[in-house]
Chains A and B, each alone.
Chain A
Amino acid sequence: MLKEIKGRVWKLGDNIDTDIIYPGKCLPILDPQEMAKHALEGYDKEFPNKIQKGDIILGGSNFGCGSSREQAATSLKYAGISCIIAKSFSRIFFRNAINQGLALVQSKEAYDLIKPGEVITVDYVKGEIVTENERIPFPPLPEVVMGILEDGGLIEHLKKSLKK
């Protein structure tokens, strides 16, 4: 059951595209641990080394726009990112992240209220982001999406339903 996610915030801008998150030259990599070494390389070459396990990304609008490459979501997850909060997500990235079991929160308000480096808590049960001074509510994800996320991704979700 997905309840609370606590982590330090990395604040990025609008239109963080899939080429910035995961470069095309690394697409032949199949090992997720190896993918993680290139997460957000286009934004900052050192980014994968700077991430601590559990960190949260705060993006602007249209996060993950561009390619259908799910390595963008996979690499972030395996690099240790626990959750991405953004004003809006690009359609395919949204699905990919959920399918990888990477938690997402869509919130238009959060971006201006949260500072980089701040430690925040995402409370999925109450549907709010808790910062030092604020409680920012966010809308719940659709049931089908939440089901996949809670099982830890589409593969696990499917395995579970196939067993039934």
Chain B
Amino acid sequence: MKVPRKEELLKLQAQYKTDRKIGQVLGVPAYLVAYWRRKKKIPKYSLPKYGFEKIKELWETHGDDRKAGKELSISKAAFYKWRRKYNLLEKPKVLKLAQLEFLLPGSARGKNRGLTIAQKGLALKAGKSEVQVGEIVYVEPDLAMSHDNAGLVIKQFREIGVAKVWNPDKIVIPLDHRAPAESEKTAEAHRSIRLFVKEQGIKNFYDIKEGICHQVVIEKGHILPGELAVGTDSHTTSYGCLGALSTGIGATEMAAVWATGKIWLRVPESLKLTINGRLPLGVYAKDVILYIIGALTVEGANYKSVEFYGDTVENMSVSERFTLANLSMEMGGKFAIVPFDNVTRKYLKGRTKKTYQPIFADENAMYENEYEYNISRLEPQVACPHNVDNVKSIDEVKGIKIDQVLLGSCTNGRIDDLEIAARLLKGKKVHPDTRMLVLPGSKSIYLEALKKGIIKTFLEANCVVLNPGCGPCLGAHEGLLAKGERCLATTNRNFKGRMGSTESEVYLASPATAAATAIRGEISDPRDFLKK
């Protein structure tokens, strides 16, 4: 064995610290390394001393021994020892906001090119320090969501021939699309799902009683900021309202995720949308996002990750942000993310006990395109048949006769949506030539609406209140359209034949516009009712 030179020994010490580790690398006992070191007058490696402040700060930033230790290049156990020394035994309940900037190890930091949320999130999941746009990564999702189409996923899963799902705790299945079952076929599918979740020990199964899948996922804390979700529903993008990366996939692909826990994803280009200004009276998140889709078109964000910024977004509730993220799918978005902030933190309080690691874009992140909007003079918007980007201002479409008004869906079925509609409908009646359907987004929304007297208002106005679920939004059941009929809906798609006959029409608008339209029986401006 050749004795290493002094420089070599110093280099090894910088890398491996202790004599024992250096010895392991060189294949010699630790005492021999110590002997060489003494002969060459190299002092023993000593642990740097960390003060209380430093340890406390790192603990409150990360809340995780491994991650905090990484910052000091020490092990998980070593960090724990320091923490114990300073009596920092309790896990921080909330990670410090100012310190939440997600730090990537290694090369990505401090360099001139910044990274987007999608890049950071996928790098983290792929265990890489950095990923490039266009790169394909293999990742394990934190959440795999399916609804009634779990029936088809199960069929494909059996086909693969793996006996057990990769992780039953990461699978969430709420039944909502055809709930309760509208046909024998669906009844069979629901039954197969109920049996499957028992067989596989999937605890996060929500039978028909709970509500729309995306709403349930958010309410029950199944997805957290910075996490990655895939779902067999295109509107899985909605979880971006909590700063998560989430996207839709097909049933066969989900079967593969169930079997292997892995999926390939292409690192997408990102768009930065900055929305500023105060929402005018009668104008809501729905109008804002419809306006943007009208401007960017239905494929304006295809394959891309959309990030939302600006004071309008900062002032929005999680529910409103949900509407933005949800409808971003209608311009093709792969992810649609509103970065984590205090609003998100408050929403999650009490919904989860898990710690989470929000992800933020670098200030100098590379976007494919940046758009800025000032919405302080925006008017209520309506997406006309048969594409979601066929968006017009209310003035251009008011007066069109409407046969059915639909209030609900994952896009606009939350308590604030029901509240504003009820405010307009209070003491009034739905026009006799029009019918209005109301589907609260979930059981908890339904209960809250009951408590607030909103359901009573709807019933007194002659609305038909249905159980939480998707129902007519996708033309499944509960209020399909006949040939020649027109519906104004707060939902997310107005494709030809979406809600029934291929010769019917669907217009998309906000809950306020929906209520105003129901009262007059024709597309109406909600501001006419709000001014009084």
Contact = CB atoms under 8 A, between A and B. Distances in A.
Most buried by A among B232, B387, B497: B497
A137 interface: no
Interface in A70-90: 70-71, 73, 88, 90
B202 interface: no
Interface in A25-70: 25, 27-30, 42, 61-62, 65-70
A92 B299 contact: no
A73 B498 contact: no
B185 A155 contact: no
A20 B497 contact: yes
Contact of A96 (B159, B185, B253, B387): B253
Interface string B239-260: 0000000001111110110011
B233 interface: yes
Interface residues on B, range: 35 or more
A95 interface: yes
B476 A24 contact: yes
Interface stretch (B10-18, B150-158, B369-377): B150-158
B495 A17 contact: yes
B303 A27 contact: no
B474 A24 contact: yes
A162 B302 contact: no
A28 B186 contact: yes
B272 interface: no
B475 A92 contact: no
Contacts of A162: 160-162
Contacts of A17: 493, 495-496
B498 A19 contact: yes
A107 interface: no
A69 B303 CA distance: 17
B302 A88 contact: yes
B298 interface: yes
Contact of A155 (B156, B189, B495): B156
Contacts of B255: 155
Nearest to A29: B185
Interface in B203-245: 231-234, 236
Interface string B320-336: 00000000000010100
Contact of B149 (A27, A65, A90, A142): A27
A68 B155 contact: no
A67 B497 contact: no
A15 interface: yes
Given A20-B497, A90-B302, A100-B252, A67 B183 contact: no
Contacts of B31: none
Given A27-B149, A144-B136, A158-B259, A65 B299 contact: yes
A71 B151 CA distance: 13
B315 interface: no
B155 A155 contact: no
B177 interface: yes
Given A17-B495, A66-B234, A154-B256, A90 B155 contact: no
Interface in B126-166: 136, 148-149, 151-152, 155-156, 159-162
Contacts of A154: 252-253, 256
Contacts of A66: 234, 493, 495
B387 A69 contact: no
Contacts of A65: 298-299, 302, 332
A15 B387 CA distance: 8
A42 B497 contact: yes
A27 B255 CA distance: 17
B173 to A, nearest CB: 15
Interface in B484-531: 493, 495-498, 502
B62 interface: no
Interface string A113-142: 000000000000000000000000000001
A19 B496 contact: yes
A72 to B, nearest CB: 9
Most buried by B among A68, A69, A88: A68
Contacts of B186: 28
A62 B502 CA distance: 20
A92 B252 contact: no
A137 to B, nearest CB: 20
B475 A24 contact: yes
A96 B149 CA distance: 14
A69 B264 CA distance: 19
A95 B295 CA distance: 27
Contacts of A42: 496-497, 502
Nearest to B231: A68
A91 B334 contact: yes
Given A15-B298, A42-B502, A96-B253, 7 more contacts: A17-B495, A27-B177, A68-B231, A70-B250, A92-B248, A154-B252, A155-B255
Give the top 6 A-B pairs by smallest Cβ distance, nearest first. Answer: A70-B250, A28-B185, A96-B250, A24-B475, A68-B248, A19-B495
9 contacts: A24-B476, A25-B480, A28-B178, A30-B152, A68-B250, A95-B250, A96-B252, A155-B156, A158-B160
Interface of A: 15, 17-20, 23-25, 27-30, 42, 61-62, 65-71, 73, 88, 90-92, 95-96, 99-100, 142, 144, 153-155, 158-159, 162
